[in-house]
Structure 1
Amino acid sequence: MKQNIAKVFTFSLLASSISFISCVDNEKNLFDADQLKQIYEETFPVKNIDPDGDWTVSRSVTARVSVNGDQGVDYKIQIFDADPLSPGSTAKLLAEGTVNQSTTLNVVMDCATALDKVFVARIDEHKRYLVQPAAIENGTVTAHFGDKGTPTRSMSRAVATSIPVMEAPYTADFISAKKVTATVVQAGWDLGASSGWAGNYKEYPVFTESERWFKIPDGTFNGGFTTSGVSGGAQAVKVIVPQGSTWVIENSNQFSNITEIIVENGGKIEVAKNGSLVLTQASYITVMQGGSIVGDRGIQITNSSAGRTNYNAGTIDCDFFKIDGGGSGVDFVNYGTLKLNSYNASTNGTTLI
């Protein structure tokens, strides 16, 4: 081994000598500075650089934000360079301050020159977020969550943020796999039933399981069903509204305590004129991207979903969304489209993000 290393080392020295000698011709230096300069000029990727050009990469922008809210309540304002609620967001906090119904936030912040809009967030005392984009025009940003023409309030800059971010509860692949083994719902079923209850429950093994997965039939399904609770041995009930299925709720469908309604990409729930989707205690909804809940009526969540988080990355477009009853509050995270004629949250601690 040592002998091989010596041979290589000798060869390397010889090669180095050859390279060194090749740069000299009868003691004449072959390096041509003028030629090298010409090569640089011909190959450099940027041409015609203006020595008087503006190479500034940041600028000062003035933001003015006002809020129309509850009397005497201060709202936190945060301004970002990107949408902070987008999944995987890397939004940077540019400035923050506080404002109320009778004041306006004025703040000067540093922004990249390429930035043409910012995202302004209003956070209330229950940590509910409203975010809106605002264009940068002539070095100024104006955002209104309320009235104009109010007195100035002091502010402070900030460099960090902790906006709640929630990943989708399920992946598309996970739901696709669950659909393969999920039991097709039948009209009139109690999804919390025991296999020994009257009816045809004993014919389906799902009614012996503690965690139960069901799916709405293909096409349009307008049959009613419910979940009465845990007395039949169920600890969790999951109902998938799959791609290509439309579940029409013609009356009040109530799900008690343990039910999650999951609307897959391409699945739809239609709440008819006399219908409503009622979720009580530990029941909640998950609308995946591309899923939808639409209709003439709406959704009612009672007794706070028992700490479960309701999630929408699709479209909810219906008459009302009502949160009431006891409990510690409902968490509702919206990454999609939420269109309502009426939103009423009377349960203390409710968070809408």
Structure 2
Amino acid sequence: MRISHPMHRWLAGLLLSAASAVAMAQAARPHVVVLATGGTIAGAGASAANSATYAAAKVPVDKLLAGLPELASVARVSGEQVFQIASESFTNDHLLQLGKRVSALAKQADVDGIVITHGTDTLEETAYFLNLVVRTTKPIVVVGSMRPGTALSADGALNLYDAVGVAASKDAAGKGVLVTMNDEIQSGRDVSKTINIKTEAFKSQWGPLGMVVEGKNYWFRAPVKRHTSASEFNIDEIQALPAVDIVYGYGNMNTTGIEAYGKAGVKALVHAGTGNGSVAAQAVPALQALRAQGVQVVRSARVPDGFVLRNAEQPDDKYDWVVAHDLRPQKARILAMVALTKTNDSKELQRIFWEY
């Protein structure tokens, strides 16, 4: 219909200007891509009272984002369903596929930040892997929840809102891969899941990097270990990850596991020792034999905090073993896999464990 009346033309112009202003405002917001992999944050229980009994990886990313309209005020958000699995089922192939997708997105000029929704069981392993191999300064945030979205006091919505806000923030750039849960911003390198039935499940012995309060970031420290853009590793160059496994130290330990992993062809074995990475006397010869076969031995500790001292408890120089420093066994495995794509020299591996 033709608009001829001056008032009509004025109203039409006003509406057009308003629409243009909204479009410009939306375009000016940072673009954050949410990569969904499943987990509790995409879970559903039979009733609102089910906070610990539920089915993980049920809600697709489009419904996850549609249920949080507040995100529109923070960023332009788009979503991709990469996997739909519980995180205990993550494999090396999943890590590689996810890492390559994150790397590709980070290279796009129209992407300002990336969020990965993830199950909490192996969230720390994925976060550390990405921290090692994705070469970017753009914010990468891994997020999960301890309760499904159907539960009373579900934590996933706020965790995701905070994660998108951090990923959209310029002040999060260059800090490596982050984990944003329970109002805290943690380093993907340092953080571990410490309890399975509370929302404050993820902790670091070195403390969080910062906090998110009502959408605003407050920073208190920065990571000092090498990561992301400063890393010597690059996911674009990694096609496969070598076999690295973990054996657990305990009272009356036998050597069956050590010998079995050796026969299975592992390239490195992480020993999750007691205390300061202690190794039972009866296990030392088996680990020495493994090292003589060319398998790298990484001495870690099963205790939640502290770090393993080289040549304390065991003569690491004499045995040509590597110590994991402050990395828990599951993260020592991640670093060993990545490092072995570059070198099989034990001295170089030890340098890498000190630096990353």
TM range (shorter): under 0.3
Higher alpha-carbon Rg = 1
Higher relative contact order (CA 8 A, sep 6+): 2
Q: TM-score, normalised by structure 2?
A: 0.25
TM-score, length of structure 1 as denominator length: 0.25
Greater helix content: 2
More strand by share: 1
